[in-house]
Amino acid sequence: MDKRTTHFGYQDVPVEEKAARVADVFHSVASRYDLMNDLMSFGVHRLWKRITLERAGVRPGHKVLDIAGGTGDLALKFSRLVGPEGKVVLADINASMLGVGRDKLIDHGVGGNVEFVQANAECLPFPDNTFDCITIAFGLRNVTDKDKALASMARILKPGGRLLVLEFSKPSNPMLTKAYDEYSFRLLPKMGELVAGDSESYRYLAESIRMHPDQETLKGMMESAGLERVEYTNLTGGIVALHRGIKL
């Protein structure tokens, strides 16, 4: 048995247990995930995702993969950008989140250019050189082996294809960091308890953000995975960062 450990928030857990624990978190919050995103970010997550869409450079006919796509915010927009000749794959390891995303896209009248796949980011079930663009928004920090996942994403990108990682990161201003910590560890769990009936899952989410690699570290990880011209943009003072790399 694998004796290695990894972090689950601030806890050390056996490597083989982390995926199941993360799954329990998202099974718990799936039905209220969109509402909590709006409340937690004061709606700013929509701006962060809009910037991601603009930087993705997706055009009609493209094939796009949205990993950890959850409730389908990006996939919904991508489906309109790629048009009937394109294809969008909404992938998530969590069946509850995938179900919420499928229902949302059906409610919005999305047609046959979207496919739903339950998949682990570390071993994506697609051939080499398949996608013009891959996005993962607020999902990489929950992956057990991030290097393995980034390599898997790079493998299935077409030459010239782009990977965009939108994720919580490290604020650049010490005063902002202090206020952000206060919000994350005091207000966020209380909000989770009131709205979603689950304070522990939102405490984990706050801890998982703190354990995620900072901007420069993640840039280096993407380069090690084989991506070129990797750059990042800090959003909202570095609370969130958008990394972008190209497969040459």
| Binding site feature residues for S-adenosyl-L-methionine | 71, 92, 120-121
Binding-site positions: 71, 92, 120-121
Residue 118's nearest CA partner among 132, 104, 100 is 100
Q: Could you tell me which of 176, 175, 146, 197 has the C-alpha nearest to residue 240?
A: 176
- Strand locations in 1-60, DSSP E? 5-8, 11-14
Question: Among residues 201, 188, 142, which one has the least CA distance to residue 168?
Answer: 142
Residue type, 102: R
Closest CA to 63 of 123, 127, 151, 152: 127
User: What is the pairing mode between strands 131-137 and 5-8?
Assistant: unpaired
- Is residue 91 within 8 Å of 65, Cβ to Cβ? yes
